Structure 1
Amino acid sequence: MLIVALTFVFLLVIGMPVAFAIAISGATYFLQHPELPLTIPVQVTVSQTQNFALLAVPLFIIAGNFLNHSGITERLLTLASVLTGRLRGGLAQVSLTLSALMGGVSGSAIADAAMQSRMIGEAMVNRGMSRGFVAGVLSFGSILTPLIPPGIGMILYGTIGQVSIGRLFAAGIVPALLLWLALAVTVSLTARRRGYPAERDTRPTAREFTQALRGGIFALLFPVILLLGLRMGVFTPSEIGAFAVIYAIFVGIAIHRKLNRASFIEAVEGSLADVGAIMFLIALSAIFTYGIVLDRVPEVVSRWILSLTDNLHLVMVLVVLIVIAAGLLVDATVLIIMLTPIFLPLARQLGADPVHFGIVFIVAATIGNFTPPVGAAMYAVCSIIKVGVGSYSRESLPFILAVTLVALVLVFVPGVVLFLPEALFAR
């Protein structure tokens, strides 16, 4: 597998698209083992797409696109402004709140970061905030999105690792709130030092709050309905994806009346592109992971890590560092697909709760979206805000520190992660 790994890194360095880099490097394993039929790569690629549990991925993507085209985003922005507009940092605080509220709608950190950059990025700059700071807030704020149900990363991790997706959905909520708090404090301290103004000078009236809440209530109810549907056994994860699509269409047509023929077609086209990209990646990853299983790479990695320490918390810290380092080169979705079969067996061997480990793992993998040299969310935001990666990186250091501190809390205090799933999904 060493040649496979080196080939993969080389292909990434020369700029080959990740999906093809995975497939080609995985295929080199079969060239090293001529006794294996060359029909296997084709078979595993096709069989990977036949996984019924993965049906939830395209369904939630479609639901998110329909919700985004139903006028919910603007309503959530109004609600976010009412809730946090008077805090120091103004629109920066509003953007963090919007990321938390949008988690149940988009499910994608990159999509959320790009959307917010277009909506309020220039407005934040016009309020006197530096472009590097604005890009840092909009980029790192989107780390909340994958942790609010229905995060696509949790669906992938749960499907690959055979972990309850319902428990993962519940487990992501408290860590998301902690990250929100840590980033909000960071913004507040920076705004105080630089004199960034609040967005609102007066407290919202009860009428303003009621109207804003009414406008965003259907987006807020979305993750709640998902959790209750899974908890009550009404839906399986795949079935609840289908319900999510119906819910999104109903809200867009009957409630907000913004989902017309043109926006419907636009949402479908966007969904086809998103689903095609992710499922193509998932299908080709089967070629790469075939050799991992056959060569028992998880056992080799486990022995190496256990030779250093068998303390669960230290092992999780080490895994986090490895995942963050890998995230400098590889997208979060790819990391979850490729590394879950390697690290989850080790965590289980040491007695870790797979839900606890999964949330920590997903947070660590998502950080790579915001760091050079290949952070997808970082590049999306920097290109829209028109700021250099160097300026972005300098201004993002406080946010990196805040996220790192929360990640350490999640590692050493598992109750923070497991409190809600244990309460909702009693064993």
Structure 2
Amino acid sequence: MLIVTLGFIVLLVIGMPVAFAIGIAGALFFFQNPELPFTIPAQVTVSQTQNFALLAIPLFILAGNFMNRSGITERLLELASVMTGRLKGGLAQVSLALSALMGGVSGSAIADAAMQSRMLGDEMMRRGFTRGFTAGVLSYGSVLTPIIPPGIGMILYGTIGQVSIGRLFAAGFAPALLLWVGLGLAIWLTARRRGYQPERATRPSATEVGRAFTGGIWALLFPVFLLVGLRMGIFTPSEIGAFAVIYAILIGVLVYRKMRRQGFVDGLESSLADVGSVMFLIALSAIFTYGIVLERVPETVAGLILGITDNVYGAMVLIALAVVVIGFFIDATVLIIMLTPILLPVVRELGADPVHFGIVFIVAATIGNFTPPVGAAMYAVCSILRCPIGEYTRESAPLLLAVVVVTLILIFVPSFVLLIPNLIFGG
């Protein structure tokens, strides 16, 4: 697998699209092993797309695009302002609350970061925030998005690793809250040092609070309906994706009345592009995964880690650190697809809960979205706000530290991650 891995790295360096880099690198394995029929790459590519559980991915992508065009975003922004407007940091705290509220709507950290940059970026800088800190807040705030249901990373990890998607959805809430607190504290400390003022000078009235919660209630209920449907056995993960699409259309057309014909068409077009890129990546990754399994790479990795430590927490720290470093160069979605079949058997052998590991793994993989040299969310935000990468990196250091500290807490306190799934689905 050394030549395959080097081939993958070289193809990425020369600018090959990630899906083709994975597929071509995986095909090198078959050139190394001519005794294997070369029909296998075609067979595994096609068979990968026939996994019924993967049907949830295009459905949730479609639901997210429809909900973004249903009028929910404006109401969630008002709710975020009411919730956090009086905290030091003003619009920075509001943007963080909006990321938490939008997690169940967009499902994509990159989409969430880009959207908020267009909505709040210029206004934050007009309020006195530096360009680098503004970009850092709007980028790192979207770390909440992938672990609030229905994060696409959870569906990928659960499908590939045969882990309960319902338990993964439930496990995302408490870590998301902890990340919110950690990032909010980092913003508060920075705002206190630099004199950034709250967005609101007075407490919101009861009328304002009621109107804000009423306006955002349908978005807040969305992940609740998902969990209830899964827990009660009403839906499978794939079927609940179809429910999410219908829910988004009904809210946009009948409740907020913002979904028009053009918005519907735009949602379909955006979803076609998103689904095509994700599913093409998943299909070609099957070629790479075939070689990984045949060469017994998971067992080799397990032996290396066990040679360093047989403590499950120590192993998870090493894995999280490695995933963060690899994530500096490879997108989070690609990491989840490539590394789940390698790493999950290792932590299972050590006795770790696969749901606990999944949340830690997804958070660690997502960190790469916000760091040089290839962080997709970082580039999206910096290009929109015209922020130099060096300034962004320097100003966002407290936010990166907050995410790393929270990740360590999640590793060493598995009961915190598993509290809600155990309450809903049983221990």
Aligned-residue CA RMSD (Å): 0.6
- Can you list the C-alpha shifts for 1:193-215, whole angstroms capped at 9, x where unaligned? 11111111111000011111111
TM superposition shift of 1:379: 0.2
Q: Are 2:259 and 1:259 equivalent residues in the alignment? A: yes
The separation in 2 between residues aligned to 1:348 and 1:328, in whole angstroms, is: 26
The separation in 1 between residues aligned to 2:121 and 2:215, in whole angstroms, is: 23
Q: Are 2:253 and 1:222 equivalent residues in the alignment? A: no
TM superposition shift of 1:144: 0.3
The separation in 2 between residues aligned to 1:345 and 1:426, in whole angstroms, is: 23
What is the 5 A alignment of 1:8-407?
8-407=8-407
TM superposition shift of 1:222: 0.1
TM superposition shift of 1:13: 1.1
TM superposition shift of 1:178: 0.2
- Can you list the C-alpha shifts for 1:248-293, whole angstroms capped at 9, x where unaligned? 0000101111111010000110111111110111011011111001
The separation in 2 between residues aligned to 1:376 and 1:65, in whole angstroms, is: 19
The separation in 1 between residues aligned to 2:277 and 2:403, in whole angstroms, is: 28
TM superposition shift of 1:79: 0.5
- Can you list the C-alpha shifts for 1:114-136, whole angstroms capped at 9, x where unaligned? 00001111000110100100010
The separation in 2 between residues aligned to 1:273 and 1:193, in whole angstroms, is: 44
The separation in 1 between residues aligned to 2:400 and 2:86, in whole angstroms, is: 25
- Can you list the C-alpha shifts for 1:17-40, whole angstroms capped at 9, x where unaligned? 111110111110011011111111
SS state at 2:396 partner: helix
AA at the equivalent of 2:214: R
The separation in 1 between residues aligned to 2:9 and 2:395, in whole angstroms, is: 29
Residue in structure 2 matched with residue 422 of structure 1 by the alignment: 422
SS state at 2:204 partner: coil
AA at the equivalent of 2:254: A
The separation in 2 between residues aligned to 1:395 and 1:26, in whole angstroms, is: 39
- Can you list the C-alpha shifts for 1:170-204, whole angstroms capped at 9, x where unaligned? 10100000000000010011011111111111110
AA at the equivalent of 1:344: L
SS state at 1:41 partner: helix
AA at the equivalent of 2:97: T
SS state at 1:225 partner: helix
Q: Structure 1: which 4+ aligned runs deviate by more than 6 Å?
A: none
Unaligned runs of 5+ in 1: none
SS state at 1:258 partner: coil
The separation in 1 between residues aligned to 2:280 and 2:131, in whole angstroms, is: 35
The separation in 2 between residues aligned to 1:189 and 1:307, in whole angstroms, is: 41
AA at the equivalent of 2:365: A
What is the TM-score when the length of structure 2 is the normalising length?
A: 0.99
The separation in 1 between residues aligned to 2:43 and 2:126, in whole angstroms, is: 55
The separation in 1 between residues aligned to 2:143 and 2:413, in whole angstroms, is: 20
TM superposition shift of 1:168: 0.3
The separation in 2 between residues aligned to 1:155 and 1:39, in whole angstroms, is: 29
The separation in 2 between residues aligned to 1:376 and 1:97, in whole angstroms, is: 22
Identical residues among aligned pairs (%)? 72
TM superposition shift of 1:396: 1.0
The separation in 1 between residues aligned to 2:398 and 2:425, in whole angstroms, is: 36
SS state at 1:301 partner: helix
AA at the equivalent of 1:11: L
The separation in 1 between residues aligned to 2:420 and 2:387, in whole angstroms, is: 39
What is the TM-score when the length of structure 1 is the normalising length?
A: 0.99
SS state at 1:403 partner: helix
The separation in 2 between residues aligned to 1:85 and 1:74, in whole angstroms, is: 15
- Number of aligned residue pairs: give it: 427
- Can you list the C-alpha shifts for 1:365-423, whole angstroms capped at 9, x where unaligned? 00010011000000000000110110000011101110011000000110110011000
The separation in 1 between residues aligned to 2:76 and 2:347, in whole angstroms, is: 38
